[in-house]
A and B are shown apart, each in its own frame.
Chain A
Amino acid sequence: MMKVELNVNGKPVTADVPENTLLVHLLREHLRLTGTHVGCDTAQCGACTVIANGRSIKSCNVLAAQMQGAQITTIEGVAAADGTPHPLQAAFNDCHGLQCGYCTPGMVMSAIDLLAHNKNASQAEIREQLEGNFCRCTGYQNIVKAVQQAQKTMTA
């Protein structure tokens, strides 16, 4: 067992976990933050995407122990304090940017990172930057539309 101290969604967290605990399992099983999904468990699908120290990462491909001292944001931490959805959450809702919804938390976290680093991303850049996230329903058209709509509201 080892002690991991990090910050999740603005709150300090200390967890005693086995050394082989993946970040996604720390989030889901120890902190009960089940919005972050495990899809492929092989770092391909991106359903487990969270933001760590300002960049999106795949939490199934990182050990919790590697994240000692990190600032983590999960899908549970992106809405405003009064519950108002993040502009990307609102846009995924408006544009029907989801079908089954399994990939959505990862898509939203990946898109938050995308717009934070490239707020004027073109449609081609949005598609390229979301390449680490799979939608098995193949609903990519509306996902890209949602990111573009959020881009407008966030830069307005």
Chain B
Amino acid sequence: MYAFTFERPATLADAAKLAKAGGKLLAGGQTLLASMKLRLAAPEQLIDLGGIRELAGIRKEGNRLVIGAMTRHADVAESKEVQTAIPALAELAARIGDKQVRAMGTLGGSLANNDPAADYPAAALALGATLVTTQREITADDFFQGLFVTALNESELITAVRWPIPKRAAYIKFPQPASRFALIGVFVAQTDGGVRVAVTGGGNGVFRHAELERALDKSFTPAAVADVKTDASELNGDLHGSAEYRAHLIGVMAQRAVAKAVG
């Protein structure tokens, strides 16, 4: 690995100051370090968030779960609070990458990276989560802005995510067999504000699927979405699957997710 400097601040304020001065934030590092080895990223300074205690943890606040940005995937997967309140979220976390990656990877890191095939962005968008940062609160609808792009500015850190507890929800993905990233993943949630459906793996970043939402608002059953088609011209294809294949997968994953949500 090339040479860089390393800071491990103990407070959020210090981390934000270092980020403003141009440092790159390091959460679990499961994407960033691999990217640095390949020179896809080449920051001159890393700011390790692992020493800031207040960033990790899970608690219930009224009808919401609040999960700290540095909470590891394994901790979300094993949390009784999450398993009870939003089982779909615990199950999603249990299937990110492999178990060694889940031991290091973090919620905030995944959301801030906004990989177009990552799992957490689908959960945040479908559940209508709110991302709390060092500067403001951002709804998931405003946060994700396409391929690896988010609403975060350079010196802004996600501190926690607030998840409204849905009536019913489920996430089903068709994993790429080697990486476990989603070829297509569909998160369905029946919320107080209606049904929300988010799709990941389509190529340009996570998105809500209006036709699936309309169909499920009328009838929250797998049959209701069996005939909902997705326009392949809005998706990307790659060597793992064409855009047409992914468009078809959205319908199949949506039906399975609804079947799972209604139990």
Contact = CB atoms under 8 A, between A and B. Distances in A.
A95 interface: no
Given A19-B3, A20-B4, A66 B99 contact: no
B37 A57 contact: no
A58 to B, nearest CB: 5
Interface string A47-71: 0010010011110011101101000
Interface string A13-46: 0000011101000000000000000000111101
B103 A55 contact: yes
B104 A61 contact: yes
Interface residues of B, number: 28
Q: For chain B, what secondary structure do more than half of its interface residues adopt (helix, strand, loop), or is it mixed? A: mixed
A61 B98 contact: no
Interface residues of A, number: 29
Given A61-B34, A65-B8, A132 B100 contact: yes
A32 to B, nearest CB: 21
15 contacts: A2-B6, A19-B4, A20-B4, A43-B30, A43-B34, A56-B99, A56-B100, A58-B100, A61-B101, A62-B33, A63-B29, A68-B8, A117-B78, A129-B99, A131-B180
Interface of B: 1-6, 8, 26, 29-30, 33-34, 37, 46, 48, 50-51, 74, 78, 97-101, 103-104, 178, 180
